[in-house]
Amino acid sequence: MILTAEELDSLVNIRHRSPHTLLGMHPLGDGSGVVVRAFLPDATAVEAVPVHEKGKPKIQLKRITGQGGDRRQTRDPYSFLPTLGETDLYLFGQGNERRIYDKLGAHLRTVDGVPGASFAVWAPNAQRISVVGDFNGWDGRFQPMRHLGPSGVWEIFIPGVREGALYKYEIKDAHGALVLKTDPYGFFFEPAPKNASIVWDNRKFSWSDEKWMKRRSERDPLRSPMSIYEVHLGSWRKKSVAESFSYRELAAPLIDYVRKMGFTHVEFLPLSEHAFYPSWGYQVTGFYSPTSRFGTPDDFQYLVNALHEEGIGVFVDWVPAHFPRDDWALARFDGTALYEHEDPRKGAHQDWGTLIFNYGRHEVDNFLTANALFWCDRYHMDGLRVDAVASMLYLDYSRKEGEWIPNQYGGRENLEAVEFLRKFNYLVHTEHPGVVTIAEESTAWPLVTRPPYLGGLGFLFKWNMGWMNDTLNYFRRDPVYRKYHQNDLTFAMLYHHHENFILPLSHDEVVHGKGSLRGRMPGDDWQAFANLRALLAYQWLFPGKKLLFMGGEFGQSNEWSANAQLDWWLLDTGPYHRGTQRLVEDLNKLYVAEPALWESDYDHDGFFWVDCSDHEGSVLSFMRQTKGAGSRLLVALNLTPVLRLRYRIGLPSGGFWREVLNSDSEIYGGSNQGNLGGVTAVSHQTHNQPFSAEFTLPPVSVTVFKLENRG
């Protein structure tokens, strides 16, 4: 026997870290010929058939299996060179292989004229890894992988594997335990509760959104309208109580609705694969796979493509802050803390029971940065909203004294996470011009939306959580007490120019016992809906881009549940719900049509308070204008249920100011008080303005006036 007893034992007991050096065809040491080896536990006979390709001998295995003598023929998987080169592995080790998703994971390929799939996985501390799947009886003895040296990558090409094949990695981990793991770079997964990875080609979809992609690359998002409809796909609409629509089935109704309502973008709660549905997608188990709950990767591409064809942008929540502890996914992947930190004071979230990525490890950094690029590349995402950024930035996030480890300078900042965020933002913005990145960051961390070369994190936008909390705190109060809290509405302008803000009324505000937006408004139905309309109008007219969670646009009464569709039936119950929906539709139309509401969101001359000192009356007024004041809109808020007649407000220009929106209109369910089309400004100095006019301010209302004819 040419093999030593030790070598044979290493094959039989699947211990050899490089089976390609023993299996397949190899020259004999004395030059007298070649030896062919195959380890096939289910074969009764094997015939080696030599073939020659490009002058090089290869081996095709012809084997007879089973008692019935059934035959099958295949190329030897141990006759192929590695599908990763030294440069790939070098860049991955540096954390700089930006398309590592083209190298690791499962990929359909034709190698030496033979179709099949290559598999590669990073697990430096594993003792042995095999690919197991429905193509080899889930038996780890058939396709053990080779270890590619110091890179920690294991690899094999398996002939004959086709799209749709199920697979996992059978890992003998650092401690000798045998575990089954899903592919960290898997492109598709079995529907939960199953969790096998699925071989899939996500490059075959025929995109037809070239016009959208070109316009996107030329557009300045800071000076463009952005009205975002936040959607949880599983509960927007459902087929039945238990069944959701697929990506393809949702495309037409979602597009029709978003277009009718006038939103410019949709933002999906996380769609990466997740095992636990009640996490709403925030506990990701498959970072490179759209969830199979709603269809295939092609189906999701179809949805995005259809939205783009109709001029609707697509954002998705991206979750690099943590991952769950499921033992079949990333956690302790090779028996060690590979993707996470070993020390729970750095590696475990107290609040969510999840694990924190080790951002300082090059391969982990590469896994995440490439994942961001992947969603822009393969799925044409227009924006990534990064969840829980504050939890990434602070080592003591939600921790008591002694439960965290300071950084090298003794501080609480997670310096590795900071560098990761800067790198991620730089790569996304340089490689995919026009794609926006959005931070959900709930603290006062400075320069979140400033470029890294200025010391910033590099995000383009940040959710204004302070505005959201202050505004909702104000509107939930009985109007009789609002005069003591007017600063809740004015405070946001004191810090507005520190960042590029989005104003969110998100899913976080309608869960965990908070109730719905409608349910938090004071008073009877009439007052509650008047307050809700005023809240939404204030959001749309205040500086900053807009985000509203689904259901808020028609005054959903109940707190949102991911297990049921929105209460669409409410639109047939009377004027209030349908009126609120009509208001949001008209707000979007006005917003998109008036550059004064978005062109200068972040310029100092794009906004000024006309008067915010009438605390007793709970009345505020402000001006929105384009650069150079070429177009101007006056916004007046009366936030008590008192009709105010002949209320004088200062104006910068004389002439006719047309009433272009009134949240108290009867078409919205209001009392229909107003200004009979508009007001004429006269030369009467008020509020430090040279002109003024007397307005009718309806109860609990927002009214908007546009200067049309200068006097």
Contacts of 493 by beta carbon, 8 Å cutoff, 6+ apart = 543, 607, 609
Residue of 387, 509, 553, 586 marked catalytic: 387
Strands 313-318, 383-386: pairing kind: parallel
DSSP string, 78-134: GGS--SS-HHHHHHHHHT--TTGGGTSEEEEEEETTEEEEEEEEE-TT-SEEEEEET
What's the token pair of residue 155? 């690899």
Measure Cα distances from 648 to 443, 479, 499, 610, 694 in Å: 39, 21, 34, 11, 4
Torsion angles phi and psi, residue 424, rounded to 5: -60, -45
Residue that the structure tokens 């019935």 belong to: 68
What's the token pair of residue 54? 């490009």
Of 353, 355, 371, the residue nearest 363 (C-alpha): 371
Residue of 440, 586, 594, 664 marked catalytic: 440
DSSP code of 335? S
C-alpha of 177 from chain center: 35
C-alpha of 339 from chain center: 20
Measure Cα distances from 220 to 198, 224, 225, 435, 436 in Å: 39, 6, 10, 10, 10
Find the angle CA(374)-CA(378)-CA(381) to the nearest 5 degrees. Answer: 80
Query: Quick one: 95 exposed, middle or buried, by C-beta within 10 A (0-12, 13-18, 19+)?
Result: buried
CB contact at 8 A, 681 and 693: yes
Catalytic site includes residue 440: yes
Of 159, 151, 73, 76, the residue nearest 119 (C-alpha): 159
- How far is Cα 271 from Cα 278, in angstroms, rounded to an integer? 13
Of 97, 119, 121, the residue nearest 108 (C-alpha): 119
Q: Would you name the residues annotated as active-site residues?
A: 387, 440
